[in-house]
Structure 1
């Protein structure tokens, strides 16, 4: 093979015998740094995603380490990657280097939540599926390597963190809005060092302010990576990637100041990295990701565990797939226990394997007997932002909790997606936007045995 047959800049390299010409070595290094940038992009997706969200909490909502942000309305959620449109979210981000050991007091009642590091690895579960089993209690999050300041019989649930930055979030499961709000207001978060006189925990709202939690594009992606890297610990498994960061001008304790050459390479690397992330997410090539062999539905979550470790390898591309299209992961989101947790299926194409087009009309037949103990929903997301579709109706999902959902005589449901309402009316319709592609999640809350044994089967989304 000659250099002219190689991809990218390498095809321009001229030879001097069996070596590249000295003046063309720069092209080789440009291509090397471009490839480093694309791989760093894929590797850093979960970290940059949380860093971006934390920055929005601080700069847009004015949140501090004594606050929680409560996402209630549809507009509140428009910046939240693949949010469900049914239950509220309450969360915030904390730098344990600032707070030290962090106390989270959760009230008794129907809640589900937990703590994750900024690689979006679950540190601990709280609420009905946690050790408190919905009874409430005090959870103590420890910075990496810190000794617990409480004895074993203190009554605290101690959670050693795997990162210096953490996210605490939970959802209320009580369908009564007043009781759910009381649960939110009863949560307390404060440094353990201030336990004798803890600061008040404020509940903030987005209040309709525009914000974006999807990863920034271009050079801003690497700026956000540089910022969060300054305050984050280094995993042993990531040391080779840190060598890549150094080559790209990202080091601890040093400013990020790329010159014109590196700026151009990083901008191109971010664009190429996102293109790879889109293919890795929307055209999954992971063994076992297709849920039924004769359907287009995929397992949205291809990670095996919250540790992001597979059999003999770390789940680099599985992690990139999920955290490009979504945020957070917990074991409850990939339930293997009938009636508990959730299950997520994703449709990125129609029945013919074509991308879902916002300018076309589609239908989805949901057979009777959906195997979900609590409820089910089908949600539409914009592929560019991976957030809820920002349509005129400000409605992105339809599901079994919708009082106006029309059910067929046999118990099945026909859903409609497209720019035009169906003749049957708007009750089962989600409006899409011409010129924008979209994808859908079908969620099972409390998935039942017919889901796990695949005896119940969801139809494909079909053009009509």
Structure 2
């Protein structure tokens, strides 16, 4: 086979991996739920906050309960019931099979009174004010329900209890290969998922670059050993590309990265979409929540947990939000994912709702970060880290305009003995 043809096949494999990775990641999440006993078209509820044992989805938060449902609209519409939530922050994100948030119900959009909504597939003719149309038949519904401390657990559970879904029985999907599967298994799964969830017309130009792979009628047996090697090389390039970026935007500004405006609704930014599928699956769009990552002293923007660190807010300089902010600390895996780390305080995040947080006499606030307890009064504001690499992510729920538009910048995380 000509060299140029092999190069075209390698490029096709790389592009196809990036394009289909979100499909495969959601399918993997769906499969885990089925194994755990969560059927399709039914909400499952996590009734405790995520901790170091939560390893199903990367970068979980420690601020909200999750309620999740994998939805199949191929058999007909599904009814969603969202209870009244009052002053409590709640979002119910509806993601298509490619991880785009095509609708978010809850505090910011539908208000505090709840309601009943009809979720329909792309070809359903239903219309009406409470009809929500999905671009794909497969949907991931993910609710985040704020828990405002230990005293609020029962109140948050009551909201979960009122969140429900009714719809026709759906076929059991799968089995599916995961993102680390051999190329033939991976692309066979990707082809099936694309057939069930056809891409948008806006994707046609990018899909043309994938044509040599033939995902429309994928058959691994038609490739020679030489061609298979080219596909494997392209897949390897795709994996490297997918580990870059994640929730981070284009570089760091004064020690922090800020999210792309396309986060959560990716359009034609297939590289960003793939990176987020690995490092921040199910990320919300910026108007709902902004994710900022601090720049560390190690490769991959990680921090060294054996050193003490400090984040200092001046008086009146906390994040401008309509809801709340929270700083989460994660240990990093080799494949670019992030999970909470075990620690003596069982504290995985710190923020404006943390009980016992101590403000300085002048109104400023210091957060102490590291593996060693800083001691004394500083322990109240300590965010424990592992004795190794870790990452810091700031979440700002319902950010105000000055944060969304860049008028506000976070202070940098610095060594604790600096200045």
Shorter-chain TM band: 0.7 to 0.9
Residues 1:271 and 2:229 are matched in the alignment: no
Residues of 2 paired with 1:353 and 1:53: CA distance?
A: 25
Q: How does 1:365-380 map to 2 (within 5 A)?
A: 365-369=312-316, 370=318, 371-380=320-329
Q: Secondary structure at the match of 2:14?
A: helix
Q: Secondary structure at the match of 1:280?
A: coil
Structure 1 residue 186, shift from structure 2 partner: 1.9
Residues of 1 paired with 2:300 and 2:96: CA distance?
A: 36
CA RMSD of aligned residues (A): 3.4
Residues 1:346 and 2:293 are matched in the alignment: yes
Residues of 2 paired with 1:31 and 1:181: CA distance?
A: 54
Q: Secondary structure at the match of 2:154?
A: helix
Residues 1:362 and 2:309 are matched in the alignment: yes
Asked whether the equivalents of residues 418 and 433 of structure 1 are also in contact (C-alpha less than 8 Å), the reply is: yes
Residues 1:113 and 2:105 are matched in the alignment: no
Asked whether the equivalents of residues 308 and 370 of structure 2 are also in contact (C-alpha less than 8 Å), the reply is: yes
Q: How does 1:35-54 map to 2 (within 5 A)?
A: 35-54=11-30
The C-alpha deviation readout for 1:289-346, integer Å capped at 9, x for no partner, is 65x5xx02111x213475534xxxx33344344444212354xx423xxxxx433222
Among 433, 457, 460, the residue aligned to 2:386: 433
25-34 vs 63-72, greater mean Cα deviation: 25-34
Show structure 1 runs of 5+ residues with no match.
1-24, 200-214, 336-340
Asked whether the equivalents of residues 96 and 102 of structure 1 are also in contact (C-alpha less than 8 Å), the reply is: yes
Question: What is residue 296 of structure 1 aligned with on the other side?
Answer: 255
Asked whether the equivalents of residues 69 and 91 of structure 1 are also in contact (C-alpha less than 8 Å), the reply is: yes
Q: 1:459 to 1:29 in 2, by over 3 A?
A: same
The C-alpha deviation readout for 1:398-429, integer Å capped at 9, x for no partner, is 11211133332223222233333324454333
Q: Secondary structure at the match of 2:156?
A: helix
Q: How does 1:55-66 map to 2 (within 5 A)?
A: 55-59=31-35, 61-66=36-41
Q: 1:374 to 1:281 in 2, by over 3 A?
A: closer
Among 150, 169, 175, the residue aligned to 2:142: 169
Asked whether the equivalents of residues 330 and 338 of structure 2 are also in contact (C-alpha less than 8 Å), the reply is: yes
Q: Secondary structure at the match of 1:120?
A: coil
Show structure 2 runs of 5+ residues with no match.
171-177
Q: How does 1:17-28 map to 2 (within 5 A)?
A: 25=1, 27-28=3-4
- Residues matched between the structures, number: 392
Among 71, 77, 82, the residue aligned to 1:101: 77
Asked whether the equivalents of residues 109 and 183 of structure 1 are also in contact (C-alpha less than 8 Å), the reply is: yes
Residues 1:147 and 2:132 are matched in the alignment: no
Q: How does 1:60-79 map to 2 (within 5 A)?
A: 61-71=36-46, 72-75=48-51, 77-79=54-56
Could you tell me the TM-score, scaled by structure 1's length? Answer: 0.73
Structure 1 residue 83, shift from structure 2 partner: 1.9
Question: What is residue 319 of structure 1 aligned with on the other side?
Answer: 273
Residues 1:231 and 2:231 are matched in the alignment: no
